[in-house]
Amino acid sequence: QDAEDARNKAAADRQRETACKYARNSYNRLKDANRIFKTDADGNRVYYSDAEADAMRVQAQRAMTAACGS
């Protein structure tokens, strides 16, 4: 039972670490980007407004805080 609990805890720790790393990378990409865009169905870049980009950065920072704990 103890060995199984340890394996489960290790798996959960790895999952949290992966989620934290992904959230941190996403935030850093958005933070460092001058202009943020998405690609439309025709392959053209559609740029977000400054307000939309700022909101995306705030959301990414919150996700990072939730995933990483600080």
DSSP of 4-54 = HHHHHHHHHHHHHHHHHHHHHHHHHHHHH-SS-EEE-TTS-EEEPPHHHHH
Mean pLDDT score across all residues of the chain: 94
Residue 5 has pLDDT above 90, yes or no: no
* CA nearest to 32, candidates 22, 20, 24, 21: 24
* pLDDT at residue number 59: 98
- Looking up tokens 């949290």 gives 16
**What's this model's pTM, rounded to 2 decimal places?**
0.78
Residue 70 has pLDDT above 70, yes or no: no
Percent of the chain predicted with pLDDT > 70? 99
* Cβ–Cβ < 8 Å for 67, 23: yes
Task: Delimit the domains of the chain by residue range.
Answer: 2-68
